[in-house]
Amino acid sequence: MQMEKLVSLCKRRGFLFQSSEIYGGLQGFWDYGPLGVELKRNVKDAWWRDMVNAHDELTAPAGAPAAYEMTGLDCSIIMHPQVWKCSGHYDLFHDYMVDCRESRKRYRHDQVRGRWVEAKDQRIFVTTMASAEDEQDSIQAKALKFFNLRAKHAEQLKWDGGIVTLPEVDDASKVLGPDAKSLDTLTEPREFNLMFKTTIGALGGEEDTAFLRPETAQGIFVNFKNVLDSSRIKIPFGIAQIGKSFRNEITPRNFTFRSREFEQMEIEFFCHPDTSHEWYQYWRDRRMKWYTDMGLAGERLRLREHDPDELSHYSTGTADIEYAFPFLPEGEFGELEGIAHRGDFDLRSHMEGKLDEKSKPLEVQLGADGKPKYRGSGKDLSYFDDDVWERDKEKLGLRSFKEYVKQNKDAAQPGAPYQYIPHVIEPSAGADRATLAFLCESYDEDEAPDEKGKMQTRTVMRFHPRLAPIKAAVFPLVKKDGMPDVAKQVYRDLKSHFNVFYDEKGAVGRRYRRQDEIGTPFCITVDGQTMDDTTVTVRDRDTLEQWRIKIDDLVEDLRPRLV
Ligand code: ATP
């Protein structure tokens, strides 16, 4: 599939627009149009329903070590700045960027790609930011221009190796920047914090600086105790949240894949340390299955376990669910979701002060003065399993938990195994990236007969029915003989059940095409026979099969087909 075709369909049919387009757009920001908003809502609703509302808390699902509970949160975007100091984002959440002294543009170091080439006794590294399919053409055009050669003399360019990224090049003086005409215009890579800064209140001093959240996860950690204290929830359980996150990406690109404002769908799953690795495996597989159930089956989707040397030592596993987006070079995949075993790193950091991720066992990171570099909340974020304590206390011959802790005061965790800091499994997904993957996967072109029976190429978005923005379209075959009135009544009856659309404009074949192009799974047509026997035809978007059904049976016929 060519990406330009999808991008143009998204604009033409109202899935996605560039933000502030009438002012020339704003890089890294996107608006969802009338159909896009329905699609993305359906993605988020399917996630929330499958992970939270429809989760059966009484039965252990296949592959899970036990039954578990799920609940949700909706936290504020701006939080106490200390949250980001203790989470590590303040110090560590950065990318490397390079600036071009000639073009005044800024690039993410690892996203600049190029190729070594030699001509006229000079060997240089020509770079580009063009998309994968245009990369080589762009590099060649730049190299020809640099060496002052015509296209017909392209054979004078001697290529050395394939296309590689800028961090793989050690001689900056030979680099021709993506938008530069001369060599050696790129600065050394510099760290750049990705958090957007903002100011709280009217005074606006340094102490009023706050950040737009770069992830939704921290809101869950800092509310862990609130959720425990306000519900009767017991470990193992998960807290889900969907919401906006902001990252000041240096080079936002690839449509919505890397945006500066985007939405995340995250779960923090709290469990006992002893079973955490089993829970990690469960969530990794459960999340992978969700994408395949929603239609991303096939070799473009893959689960990639990180190698042990990529893991932080407190984690026993991290996996990425990745999709081979069509704008990526052949064989490359882009992350849709990361599933990480995070141990007790986050809860302890918010409790004791930011931990040093390199220490083993984990210890609070100290500043130059020997005190914690970033102080934690000092609040107790441990979990007390009173069911197990009640079960065991008589066996232990103790009256109170205090006595137990006193007895074990020299142990590393005197309250264990009854009181402990839970381990966390974090499935962290992007709603926009998932929506983009569903758009890419759905795009298809096939042949279908037009109204005269002639085969024509048709564009069809093969969305899973749960994700399709419009579930069914209702048409009168012609605009006469009472058909529009009956069709309008069918539309009204269906509208309270599903998102349906009424259309009487143009030839019926054209109306089918318009619905195929936006992925409507069913088209319902009122025709001459409807007037005699109150049946309508239903047409399936994918198989093009048609069947007749009584108007009164439509809802029950469609319902199971839409789940
Ligand atoms: P990447 O390496 O691609 O920048 P990441 O590993 O930093 O992603 P996480 O911090 O794990 O991403 O965020 C979880 C999810 O949030 C990602 O899997 C992705 O779906 C989504 N996400 C992260 N950054 C962006 C972005 N700039 N635009 C859109 N979605 C994003």
Residue from 210, 202, 240, 192 nearest 77 by CA: 210
Q: Per-residue pLDDT for 180 more than 90?
A: yes
- Edge-to-edge order in the sheet of strand 423-430: 69-72, 237-246, 261-271, 423-430, 334-343, 318-323, 301-305
Domains of the chain: 3-12+40-93+198-382+421-434 (3.30.930.10), 95-192 (no CATH), 454-562 (3.40.50.800)
CA 27 to chain centre: 19
State which ligand 1 atom lies nearest to the alpha carbon of 434: 20
When mean pLDDT is compared across 113-127, 398-412, 455-469, 520-534, the lowest value belongs to 398-412
CA dihedral of residues 28, 31, 35, 41 (deg, nearest 10): 80
* DSSP helix/strand/coil, 426: strand
CA–centroid distance, residue 259 to ligand 1 (Å): 9
Q: Which residues contact 139 (CB under 8 A, 6 or more apart)?
A: 114, 115, 117, 126, 127, 128, 130, 163
Got the DSSP string for 27-87? TT-EEE-HHHHHHHHHHHHHHHIIIIIT--TTSPPTT-SS--EEEE----SB--HHHHHHH
CA–centroid distance, residue 436 to ligand 1 (Å): 13
The reply to whether ligand 1 has any atom less than 6 angstroms from the CB of 335 is yes
**Nearest alpha carbon, ligand 1 atom 18:** 337
Q: Which residues contact 68 (CB under 8 A, 6 or more apart)?
A: 57, 60, 236, 237, 238, 269
Span 301-332, pLDDT tens digits: 999 999 988 888 888 899 999 999 999 988 99
What is the rounded end-to-end Cα distance, in angstroms, of the chain?
27
CA–centroid distance, residue 79 to ligand 1 (Å): 20
Q: Per-residue pLDDT for 49 more than 90?
A: yes
CB 339 within 8 A of CB 322: no
Count of CB atoms situated within 10 Å of the CB of 32 = 19
Q: Per-residue pLDDT for 235 more than 90?
A: yes
Cβ-in-10-Å burial (0-12, 13-18, 19+) of 17 comes to middle
Question: Looking at 310-422, which runs of residues are DSSP E strands?
Answer: 318-323, 334-343, 355-356, 363-364, 383-384, 419-420
CA 241 to chain centre: 13
**Nearest alpha carbon, ligand 1 atom 13:** 428
Span 333-363, pLDDT tens digits: 999 999 999 999 999 999 999 999 889 899 9
The reply to whether ligand 1 has any atom less than 6 angstroms from the CB of 247 is yes
CA–centroid distance, residue 235 to ligand 1 (Å): 28
What is the model's pLDDT at position 218? Answer: 97
What is the model's pLDDT at position 443? Answer: 96
The reply to whether ligand 1 has any atom less than 6 angstroms from the CB of 336 is yes
Q: Per-residue pLDDT for 191 more than 90?
A: no
Count of CB atoms situated within 10 Å of the CB of 146 = 20
- The pLDDT confidence band at residue 366, using thresholds 50, 70 and 90, is very high
The reply to whether ligand 1 has any atom less than 6 angstroms from the CB of 262 is yes
Give the residue with greater pLDDT, 419 vs 413: 419
Q: Per-residue pLDDT for 205 more than 80?
A: no
Q: Enumerate the β-bridge partners of residue 239.
A: 71, 268
Span 439-468, pLDDT tens digits: 999 999 998 887 777 888 999 999 999 999
pTM attached to this predicted model: 0.88
Span 257-276, pLDDT tens digits: 999 999 999 999 999 999 99
Task: Name the percent of the chain lying above pLDDT 70.
Answer: 100
Span 236-255, pLDDT tens digits: 999 999 999 999 988 888 99
Highest averaged pLDDT of the listed ranges 361-365, 471-475, 477-481: 471-475
What is the model's pLDDT at position 310? Answer: 84
Cβ-in-10-Å burial (0-12, 13-18, 19+) of 534 comes to middle
Q: How many residues does the chain have?
A: 563
What is the model's pLDDT at position 201? Answer: 87
CB 250 within 8 A of CB 94: no
Residue from 144, 30, 82, 68 nearest 373 by CA: 82
CA–centroid distance, residue 430 to ligand 1 (Å): 6
Span 7-35, pLDDT tens digits: 999 999 999 999 999 999 999 999 999 99
Average pLDDT over residues 297-303: 92
Q: What is the mean pLDDT of the chain?
A: 94
The reply to whether ligand 1 has any atom less than 6 angstroms from the CB of 430 is yes
Q: Which residues contact 136 (CB under 8 A, 6 or more apart)?
A: 115, 163
